[in-house]
Amino acid sequence: MILSSYNNQLALKLKGALENVIKTRNLAGLTVGTALFLTSIGANAQVVGSAHDLSPDTTGTDQVCAFCHTPHGAATGASAAGVPLWNKTLPNPATYTRYSTLNTATLDGAETEVGSVSLACLSCHDGTQARDVLINSPGSGMTGTALGVGAMTGTPVPVLGTDLTDDHPVSIQYAGGGYLISDPDGVGTNAGALGDPDFAAATKGLVNAQPNWWVDSPVGAGTQREKVDMLLYARSDPALDGGALQPFVECGSCHDPHNASTAGAGSVAFLRIQNSASQICTTCHTK
Ligand code: HEC
Ligand code: HEC
Ligand code: HEC
Ligand code: HEC
d(CA 177, CA 124): 29
45 ligand 4 Cβ < 6 A: no
Handedness of CA 106, 193, 256, 146 (dihedral sign): positive
Confidence (pLDDT) at 126? 93
Rounded to 5 degrees, what angle do the CA atoms 179, 181, 187 make? 65
pLDDT of residue 82: 82
Q: Is the CB of 107 under 6 A from ligand 4?
A: no
Counting ligands in written order, the one closest to the CA of 280 is: 2
Determine the Cα–Cα distance for residues 237 and 110; give it in Å rounded to an integer. Answer: 10
Q: Check residue 9 and give its pLDDT.
A: 37
Q: What is the predicted pLDDT for the residue at 2?
A: 32
Q: Which residue positions in the chain have pLDDT lower than 70? A: 1-45, 77-80, 144, 148, 156, 180-193, 260-266
Q: What is the pLDDT of residue 32?
A: 31
Contact call for residues 107 and 93 (beta carbons, < 8 A): no
Rounded CA separation 137/145 (Å): 6
> What contacts 45, CB < 8 A, 6 or more positions away?
12, 15, 258, 259, 260, 261, 262
pLDDT reported for residue 17: 38
Residue 271 · residue 8 · CB < 8 Å: no
Q: How far is the CA of 109 from the centre of ligand 3 (A)?
A: 27
Of ligand 1's atoms, which has the minimum distance to the CA of residue 47? 38
Q: Which ligand 1 atom is at minimum distance from the Cα of 52?
A: 1
- Please tell me the distance from the alpha carbon of residue 60 to that of residue 274, in angstroms, as a whole number: 35
CA atoms within 13 A on the CB side of 85: 9
What is the reported pLDDT for 259? 81
pLDDT of residue 27: 31
CB of residue 281 inside a 6 A radius of ligand 2:
yes
Cα-based angle 190, 239, 180 (whole degrees, multiple of 5): 10
**Residue from 216, 205, 222 nearest 280 by CA:** 216
pLDDT of residue 189: 55
Please list, in sequence order, all residues whose beta carbon lies within 8 angstroms of the beta carbon of residue 91, skipping any fewer than 6 positions away: 119, 122, 123, 126, 128, 129
Residues ≥6 apart with Cβ < 8 Å to 71 = 85
